[in-house]
Each structure stands twice: as C-alpha cells, then as structure tokens.
Amino acid sequence: MKKHLLFAIFALTCASIFAQPTTHSVMPAIGTVYSLNSVSGAIVHAAGGNGQTWNFNPLANSVTLTYSIIPLSATSATDQATFPAANYFRLKSVGSMTVGLDFLHIQSDRLIELGEKGSGGNYNMKPVPYTTYTFAMNVGSTHVSTYTTPVGTTTRTVKCDGTGTLTTPFGTFNNALRLKTYNIGDLDTLFSYYDTQPTMRLQLHYVRKGDNSITNKFVYDYNYSPTLVNEMIQGDHTLSVFPNPTSGVFNIQGIEVNSHDRIFVYNSLMQKCYELELTTTQISLEDLPPGIYFIELRSKNGIKTQKVLKQ
C-alpha cells in the first residue's frame, strides 16, 4: 500500500515538473493598463526548446505606448458596426492622446485580430483576419493561416518553439513560452515571449532579420500606473469624474440628475457591483475594495463610460 502511495506521489511530482505551459484564451482583464517600452542595448537571440532560461535585462527607454483593455460600452456604435465580431478591445495611447483601438476576437480555439481604428478615426480592416495564435500550443505546435489586408493576401506561420523561465527588466516569469511568427517569402521573423500564468501576457518581442540582426525590440510592463487615470477612453463617450483616483467618493460633472438616467458600476472583470438611479452627482465606492472600476451612465443620449481608480 505504501509503495503504491509513494509511486502515486512520485508520478504527480514528475507530472508537475514536466508539465509545459501552453497558449490559452485567458487574456488580461478589462481595466488592465500596461506599457510598451522600446529597448536600448543589444539583444542576443536565445535558443528554443523546452526548459530554457531566457534572461533579457536590457535597459528600457521611456514608455513608447500605453495599452488599456476597455469594455464594449467604451466603443462607439460605428466601431461596433464595423467590427461586429469583436469581443476584446485594446485602446492605444501616448500620454493623454488616443492613437488607436485594436479589435480582436477570442474564439473557442484561437485569438484573431480583426483590424484597428487609427487616431484620425479611419478603420484598417482585415477582410480575412489573421490568427495571433491558437490555444493549447506547446513546443513543436504550428499553425498556418492565410489572411487578407487591403495590400493583399499573405500566408503566415506561427510556431511554438520554446518554453522556460523569462526575465525582463520588469520581472521573472516561470511559465513562459515563445512563439515564432513569419510570413511566406519574408526573411524577417518575429519572436514573441509570453507569460502564460495566470493570463496570456506578451512580455517581450523582437524581429530577427535575415542577416540575424535584431530590430524592433520592445518589452512590456504590466505594473505600469499612468499619471492620468481618467484618460479619454473614447472621445465624447467618456464621463467627467473627480477626484480620480478617489478614496471612495467622487463627483460626476455635466449630468442631469433626477432624469431617470441610471448609473452602473463594474469591477475590472466587468462584474456588476451595483446600479442606481441618478439622483445626485456624487457616487460612493466606499463599500468596495480598492481597484479599478468602470462607471457607466445610461441615458436617452446613449452610453458613457469612465474608469475610476479607488485607492
């Protein structure tokens, strides 16, 4: 009996040791804000395969771009009509200025990119969107797909070519994997390093050119806290609230009280905390834990949303 028990424990231990991270569908939650940083200094391309130790600790320059994961309600009716299949939205900004909005679709077996909206309001659509990666990829897994842009049709290959421990200037990640992406006829290869636990987060990427030189080096910081928390999410679809951050109570400007308009409060996972009829300009989050919340105003004029940080 003891031998069987010891064997079972040994088998479970081995399974945990040799279990490999895989791609999956759990993405950073709504309300997540992170930054893209350009990398100074040389990067040496690392080996692939299982159980690698990837140590990239170059100095990161100032923030190049800020990403915010926003809810559907923070997009416009035109956005939704242009990309009706989109269910994951990534706002891009530089400082307080919005420079783009990515529209993605998390399917049952893959993550696909539908297109984007530029700073001028123009849409860049992919008539046949491309797959960023499929789920449950591990070392050796390959996905080949053909996508179409206004420029033409391209065949793209995504291969999982390594797993291991990844170190960047912003932390060490023990459940990392690397995806190798390239197009037919193109000598450049994109290498993307992901942390897979608890969510799929892109941590670092670079392009290895045909002459083996490394360009387009970027590293991500998910602990990034912007100074302007009440950033403009989507033009006139944003509420004006203050103070933000707040210790619990904040005010809403430019609203009509006693108009039967309703306020909805969601947490960062877009779980509704409560709703109430708008009878005052002052809203309290005192009974909620610290974190990021989305305040949504529904009125006859449409829906407006604002992100609020409770400290």
* pLDDT tens readout for residues 168-182: 999 999 999 999 999
Residue that wins the pLDDT comparison between 98 and 67: 67
Q: Is 143 left (phi over 0), alpha (psi -120 to 50) or beta?
A: beta
Q: What does the pLDDT read at residue 99?
A: 87
Q: What does the pLDDT read at residue 11?
A: 42
Whether 273 and 205 have beta carbons less than 8 Å apart is answered as no
Q: Residues 82-125: pLDDT tens digits?
A: 999 999 999 998 876 788 999 999 998 999 999 999 888 899 98
Task: Kindly state whether residues 216 and 254 are assigned to the same domain.
Answer: no
Amino acid at 87: N
pLDDT surpassing 50 at residue 2: no
Q: What does the pLDDT read at residue 5?
A: 47
- Residue 192 maps to a domain: yes
Task: Kindly state whether residues 281 and 143 are assigned to the same domain.
Answer: no
Range of the domain at 262: 239-310
Q: Which residue from 62, 63, 68 is spatially nearest to 33, judged by alpha carbons?
A: 68
- Residue 13 maps to a domain: no
Q: Which residue from 235, 233, 232, 237 is spatially nearest to 299, judged by alpha carbons?
A: 237
Task: Kindly state whether residues 79 and 200 are assigned to the same domain.
Answer: yes
Q: What does the pLDDT read at residue 235?
A: 42
pLDDT surpassing 70 at residue 60: yes
Beta bridge partners of 277: 262
Q: What is the CATH number of the domain that holds 305?
A: 2.60.40.10
Task: Kindly state whether residues 144 and 279 are assigned to the same domain.
Answer: no
Beta bridge partners of 162: 49, 178
CA distances from 178 to 62, 116, 170, 188 (A): 25, 25, 17, 16
- ∠ CA 95-30-25, rounded to 5°: 120
pLDDT surpassing 90 at residue 21: yes
pLDDT surpassing 90 at residue 236: no
